[in-house]
Amino acid sequence: MAADRRSKADTLALRQRLISSSCRLFFPEDPVKIVRAQGQYMYDEQGAEYIDCINNVAHVGHCHPVVVRAAHEQNQVLNTNSRYLHDNIVDYAQRLSETLPEPLCVFYFLNSGSEANDLALRLARHYTGHQDVVVLDHAYHGHLSSLIDISPYKFRNLDGQKEWVHVAPLPDTYRGPYREDHPNPAVAYANEVKRVVSSAQEKGRKIAAFFAESLPSVGGQIIPPAGYFSQVAEHIHKAGGVFVADEIQVGFGRVGKHFWAFQLQGKDFVPDIVTMGKSIGNGHPVACVATTQPVARAFEATGVEYFNTFGGSPVSCAVGLAVLNVLEKEQLQAHATSVGSFLMELLRQQKIKHPIVGDVSLPRRHRGVGLFIGVDLIKDEATRTPATEEAAYLVSRLKENYVLLSTDGPGRNILKFKPPMCFSLDNARQVVAKLDAILTDMEEKVRSCQTLRLQL
Ligand SMILES: Cc1ncc(COP(=O)(O)O)c(C=O)c1O
């Protein structure tokens, strides 16, 4: 392939000339040119192997042969839109319905997480007859205009908050207003949503939906306190709205204990709408909205067709089915639990050793579950000031050591671990050993500077 033969410098120069700089690269000061990937590994143009801790989209592993074969075989037979009767779409919907609570039994197939959230917004508005949305601070729900409007992570840097959008605090028990020492952070944070709803209603606004990632990722790998979603759902339902659980980053067994991250909130909690994307197709553009009969019926009552040219095609559904088959056959959900717990334990040891590691796990809560883990880097324990520059430095040093990791959170100081689900115990050991060595080196450098300063 010509692209593989172009030098890295030439590729970069062409990219800078032809591709908008709004489309950013990882490691902009020294981007990696990746030419192939397999499982949890990515390879650059020189053949160097990187451990991938970033790609939750390559859910069952990069280029998984079962998924690649399923796409190829279906492509050889038929790929067309969902207006023709075909088994793949119904087989796939049936398989997905087996993973979800019973009320979530109507499916729409689309091509991206953004399309899924945009449809969720339309469904919510038709069902409730209301327009407004409550979202969590720092949330990101997609790149369409409608979703930028409900993504504080984006709209705060653009033209600001629309009058139909209401922002509730992130239920972050490490950095938010109610922390690990609060007797009931779930109720306290849910009451914040209630307050936001009441204040909107006082202005004559009507709530159509509450949107939340089941585990806020861009917000900093947050695990909302158990029971929070049920309490929020109560307030939102009372206001006439519906609860939308965005599982685009965290669904499909990543949390280990459950197939869906919203299930961490307890058996009784069932969202009105669930949106899926990213990992659903292991890199193939597939997305899905699951909802209840009443919500779907309200949308159908408009008489307007929902047509999506590529959504639910035989190939997309074959890919989706293959991902479910691999998850099951390779028992990747259980694997996420065991490897994730092991990785968290190794990271906890780093917290004891290095003061910069603020939060991996605290006695009453965890900053990770399964293969969704955050490491909150701090400048000092008392203020919990985000160690932003240190986090950026660490990520670039890890890349030099062939580990691909990224940061997130409002302070861009949270190291995010969301690797492909085949990430191994050995990978966990290797990554944490490298992290340990770099942190030790950073501390040594700081100590030498301090000694030098004292001598001067
Ligand atoms: C939580 C969440 N929702 C929605 C989206 C949008 O998905 P897509 O980029 O497939 O449109 C993203 C993408 O990063 C996301 O993280």
Which atom of ligand 1 lies at the shortest distance from residue 277's CA?
10
The predicted structure's pLDDT at residue 232: 98
> What mean pLDDT, rounded, does the chain reach?
95
Q: Does residue 39 carry a pLDDT above 90?
A: yes
- The C-alpha atoms of residue 392 and residue 30 are separated, in whole angstroms, by 13
- The C-alpha atoms of residue 353 and residue 112 are separated, in whole angstroms, by 41
**118 Cβ closer than 6 Å to some ligand 1 atom:** no
Which atom of ligand 1 lies at the shortest distance from residue 218's CA?
16
Which atom of ligand 1 lies at the shortest distance from residue 285's CA?
10
**Each residue's pLDDT tens digit, 126-182:** 999 999 999 999 999 999 999 999 999 999 888 889 999 999 999 999 999 999 899
Quote the tokens at residue 53. Answer: 């801790």
**52 Cβ closer than 6 Å to some ligand 1 atom:** no
For the segment 256-278, the average pLDDT, to the nearest whole number, is 97
Q: Does residue 403 carry a pLDDT above 70?
A: yes
- Helix or strand holding residue 47 (H, E): none
Task: Count CB atoms within 10 A of the CB of residue 353.
Answer: 13
The protein residue with its alpha carbon nearest to ligand 1, atom 14, reads 142
Which atom of ligand 1 lies at the shortest distance from residue 114's CA?
11
- 386-389: list long-range contacts, CB under 8 Å, 24+ apart: 386/410, 386/411, 386/412, 386/413, 387/356, 387/358, 387/413, 388/412, 388/413
- The C-alpha atoms of residue 93 and residue 280 are separated, in whole angstroms, by 12
Backbone dihedral angles phi then psi of residue 111, each to the nearest 5 degrees: -110, -15
Of 3.30.360.10, 3.90.1150.10, 1.10.10.10, 3.30.420.10, the CATH number of 2-63+331-455 is: 3.90.1150.10
Where does 313-383 have alpha helices with state H?
A: 314-329, 332-353
- The C-alpha atoms of residue 201 and residue 208 are separated, in whole angstroms, by 12
Mutate to test the pocket of ligand 1, among 145, 249, 262, 276 (most ligand atoms within 8 A of CB): 249
* Beta-strand pair 357-359/287-291: unpaired
The predicted structure's pLDDT at residue 446: 83
Q: Does residue 4 carry a pLDDT above 80?
A: no
Specify the DSSP class assigned to residue 225: P
The protein residue with its alpha carbon nearest to ligand 1, atom 13, reads 142
Taking the CA atoms of residue 90, residue 96, residue 100 and residue 104 in that order, the dihedral angle to the nearest 10 degrees is: -40
Which of 273, 253, 255 has its CA nearest to residue 116? 273
Which atom of ligand 1 lies at the shortest distance from residue 213's CA?
1
For the segment 407-426, the average pLDDT, to the nearest whole number, is 96
Q: Is the CATH number 3.40.640.10 carried by domain 65-329? A: yes
The residue ranges of every structural domain in the chain are 2-63+331-455, 65-329
The predicted structure's pLDDT at residue 454: 72
Where does 129-179 have alpha helices with state H?
A: 145-148, 152-155
The predicted structure's pLDDT at residue 159: 81
Q: Does residue 407 carry a pLDDT above 80?
A: yes
Which atom of ligand 1 lies at the shortest distance from residue 112's CA?
10
**Each residue's pLDDT tens digit, 375-394:** 999 998 889 999 999 999 99
**166 Cβ closer than 6 Å to some ligand 1 atom:** no
Backbone dihedral angles phi then psi of residue 210, each to the nearest 5 degrees: -110, 125
**Cα 373 to ligand 1 centre (Å):** 18
Cβ contacts of residue 180 below 8 Å, gap of 6+?
173, 174, 362, 363, 364, 365
Please report, for residues 63, 74, 134, 303, the alpha-carbon distance to residue 222 in angstroms, rounded to integers and kept in the order given.
29, 39, 18, 40
- The C-alpha atoms of residue 128 and residue 238 are separated, in whole angstroms, by 12
Q: Does residue 92 carry a pLDDT above 50?
A: yes
**Each residue's pLDDT tens digit, 353-383:** 998 888 775 544 568 999 999 999 999 888 9
**Cα 37 to ligand 1 centre (Å):** 22
**Cα 222 to ligand 1 centre (Å):** 16
Beta strands in 172-286 (DSSP E): 207-213, 242-246, 273-276
Mutate to test the pocket of ligand 1, among 140, 151, 211 (most ligand atoms within 8 A of CB): 140
The predicted structure's pLDDT at residue 359: 76
Q: Does residue 194 carry a pLDDT above 90?
A: yes
Where does 84-215 have alpha helices with state H?
A: 87-99, 113-128, 145-148, 152-155, 185-202
Which of 337, 343, 417, 345 has its CA nearest to residue 376? 417
**246 Cβ closer than 6 Å to some ligand 1 atom:** yes
For the segment 290-316, the average pLDDT, to the nearest whole number, is 97
The predicted structure's pLDDT at residue 449: 81
Mutate to test the pocket of ligand 1, among 170, 248, 254, 280 (most ligand atoms within 8 A of CB): 248
The predicted structure's pLDDT at residue 362: 53
Specify the DSSP class assigned to residue 41: E
Taking the CA atoms of residue 347, residue 353, residue 357 and residue 358 in that order, the dihedral angle to the nearest 10 degrees is: 100
Cβ contacts of residue 404 below 8 Å, gap of 6+?
26, 32, 42, 50, 51, 52, 53, 54, 398
Taking the CA atoms of residue 365, residue 104, residue 235 and residue 275 in that order, the dihedral angle to the nearest 10 degrees is: 70
Q: Does residue 406 carry a pLDDT above 60?
A: yes
- The C-alpha atoms of residue 338 and residue 336 are separated, in whole angstroms, by 6
For the segment 55-79, the average pLDDT, to the nearest whole number, is 98
